[in-house]
């Protein structure tokens, strides 16, 4: 496995090719999707894609990023930490297809640590021993729910979401920097769960591990007024996260501020130590920047294709 010096050097070289706020802004202001795609092609984004189409470009770039992480990561825990979301998404897709007798190929996304072919082979054969405990247990529980006729869209999604955060929390257990990133992501996820559920009992069944919100915090967000929630979090380190989500919720908007904060939470931690190049920080910082970039590109292209107003697009991306 490469060491941190090599990984940081590779990351530093690649960081010069990130799109940056200026290009993302030009994409948002582009007259049409085709014009935004030309901006991506100018910098070789999605190089090797079979056609200059949005999905093809993004998928090619995501494959390249996953390959970079697996080839360059200086620690196995970082590889799993950075790619866990993909693995859990794809495992859930294959599990659903297994029991619903559908084709999972339209549901899977970019590959993570595990190839889609490997997930298919293991999940279809009920062979889960190779997977880390949270994923293994989620797969076993999902089998039981489907076989028992108790599986629903919500409980299966909740099962894999909670398992993913359990693995992230485990990977971060002895690493203060990763713990802080997980804590922010988990709190963002749980704030959204509470506000969308409007029910404390239901929210308690869906909240993920690794965050700082108490049971009473979740109850207030789920069941009390926005005014009461603001009062509870007025001195909290999560104040801005909660206040932004409450504002969107009050106006009947999707939780845009929360989604944006969740996407940028890892970077907010890393930028606070921008000049600290200790250990693997430069590598992790680049990887988080690239993940944010991929998310921004997907949001921009999707919104342009749907005719969303430019101001609304800017509200969704982290420039």
**What pLDDT digit, counting tens, does each position of 130-157 carry?**
999 999 999 999 999 999 999 999 999 9
Structure confidence at residue 253 (pLDDT) = 75
| Nearest CA-CA partner of 227 in 204, 250, 211, 261 | 250
For CATH 1.20.1690, list the domain ranges present in the chain: 174-279
Of 287 and 47, more confident: 287
CA dist list (Å): 295 to 23, 59, 135, 170, 271? 14, 12, 24, 25, 18
In CATH, the number for domain 174-279 is 1.20.1690
Residue 257 predicted with pLDDT over 70: no
Above 90 in pLDDT, residue 113? yes
Mean residue pLDDT across the chain: 92
Chain-centre distance for alpha carbon 295? 8
Average of pLDDT values for 98-108? 93
Distances in Å between the alpha carbon of 100 and those of 135, 139, 162?
Answer: 20, 15, 22
pLDDT of 4-63, one tens digit each? 999 999 999 999 999 999 999 999 999 999 999 999 988 889 876 666 688 888 989 999
Per-residue confidence (pLDDT) for residue 43, from 0 to 100: 87
Say which residue the tokens 């869906």 belong to.
206
Mean pLDDT in residue range 53-78 = 93
| Other beta carbons less than 10 A from residue 117's beta carbon | 9
> 206-232 pLDDT, tens per residue?
999 999 999 999 999 999 999 999 999
Burial readout 25-44 (b: 16 or more C-beta within 10 A, e: otherwise): bebbebeebeebbebbeeee
> Above 80 in pLDDT, residue 193?
yes
Q: Is 265 exposed, middle or buried (0-12, 13-18, 19+ CB in 10 A)?
A: buried
For the segment 294-303, the average pLDDT, to the nearest whole number, is 91
Average pLDDT over residues 288-299: 91
- Mean pLDDT is lowest, of 39-48, 89-98, 192-201, 263-272, for 263-272
Look at residues 61, 69, 121 and name the one whose alpha carbon lies nearest to residue 90: 121
């Amino acid at each position: 496995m490469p060491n941190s010096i090599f990984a940081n050097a590779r990351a530093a070289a690649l960081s010069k090719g990130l799109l940056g706020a200026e290009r993302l802004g030009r994409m948002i202001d582009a007259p049409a999707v085709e014009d935004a795609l030309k901006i991506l092609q100018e910098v070789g984004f999605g190089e090797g894609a079979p056609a200059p189409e949005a999905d093809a470009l993004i998928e090619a770039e995501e494959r390249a990023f996953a390959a970079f992480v697996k080839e360059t990561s200086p620690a196995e825990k970082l590889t799993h930490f950075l790619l866990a979301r993909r693995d859990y998404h794809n495992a859930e897709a294959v599990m659903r297809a297994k029991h619903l007798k559908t084709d999972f190929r339209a549901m899977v996304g970019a590959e993570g640590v595990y190839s889609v072919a490997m997930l298919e082979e293991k999940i279809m054969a009920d062979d889960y021993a190779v997977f880390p405990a949270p994923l293994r247990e989620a797969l076993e529980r999902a089998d039981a729910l489907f076989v028992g006729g108790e599986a629903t869209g919500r409980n299966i999604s909740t099962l894999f979401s909670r398992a993913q955060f359990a693995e992230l929390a485990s990977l971060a257990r002895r690493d203060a920097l990763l713990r802080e990133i997980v804590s922010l992501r988990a709190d963002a996820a749980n704030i959204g769960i509470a506000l969308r559920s409007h029910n404390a009992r239901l929210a308690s069944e869906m909240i993920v591990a690794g965050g700082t919100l108490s049971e009473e915090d979740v109850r207030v967000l789920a069941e009390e007024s926005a005014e009461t929630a603001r009062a509870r979090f007025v001195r909290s380190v999560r104040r801005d996260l909660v206040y932004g989500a409450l504002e969107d919720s009050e106006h009947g908007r999707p939780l845009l501020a929360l989604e944006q904060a969740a996407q940028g939470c890892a970077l907010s931690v890393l930028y606070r130590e921008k000049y600290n190049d200790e250990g693997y920080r430069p590598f992790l910082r680049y990887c988080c920047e690239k993940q944010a970039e991929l998310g921004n590109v997907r949001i921009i292209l999707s919104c342009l294709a749907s005719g969303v107003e430019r101001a609304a697009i800017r509200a969704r991306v982290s420039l």
